[in-house]
Amino acid sequence: MEAQRERPVYGHAIVQGILALFITIFLASPYAWDLTARATTAILSIVGVRTSYTTPLSPMYVRLMDGTLSGFNILLECSGLITVAIFSFISTLTIGLLKGSLLKKIVWFVLSISVGLFWNINRLAVVIIIAYSFGLSAFSLSHYFVGPFIDFAWVVSMWSLGMSSIQKEEIVTSPCGLSECLRYKRRRS
């Protein structure tokens, strides 16, 4: 007997895709950029880096250790939108199509996006701390070269957890019990 191919669950993928679209639209808004800048400012304040951020879409100013006043714009590129969009696309076309609980997929998806946004805010705080401590050339290196690798880590980790969670659910809820499957294998041998 041939193993049957699993049929994709298009409805789940569509629901996840619509949710991803709403999250993407929010992250493309100046409101999300302002939230990201305010959260980053709060983290920097906790660790002792004084910043000046007053209005949305204005630079966050930091006086570096060498006395230089530097402005950091927290806009579209720093909102986490690009990484979240890539993650949403990959997970919608893979996990969204697998059999499994829609509620579990949505909870996992929202949790993953939350982890990604929290990760992004911390990454921004860390690169600004690097700029504060070591200067703008160290900032450029960490932000533009190390940043994508850091983002890659959360994308792969959360996607892997989602895949294993959905696959585990599918194995546990298989149609035949273990003893029935073993009997079937013995009959075939």
Express each pLDDT in 76-113 by its tens digit.
Answer: 777 788 898 889 999 999 999 988 899 999 999 999 99
Top pLDDT among 178 and 163 is at 163
Cα separation, 76 vs 116, in Å, equals: 15
Q: Model-level pTM greater than 0.85?
A: no
What is residue 76's predicted lDDT score, i.e. its pLDDT?
A: 79
Mean pLDDT of the chain: 85
| Of 80 and 51, the one with more pLDDT | 51
pLDDT higher than 50, residue 62: yes
| Model confidence at 184: pLDDT above 50 | no
- Write the single-letter amino acid at 148: P
Give, as one character, the DSSP assignment of residue 78.
G
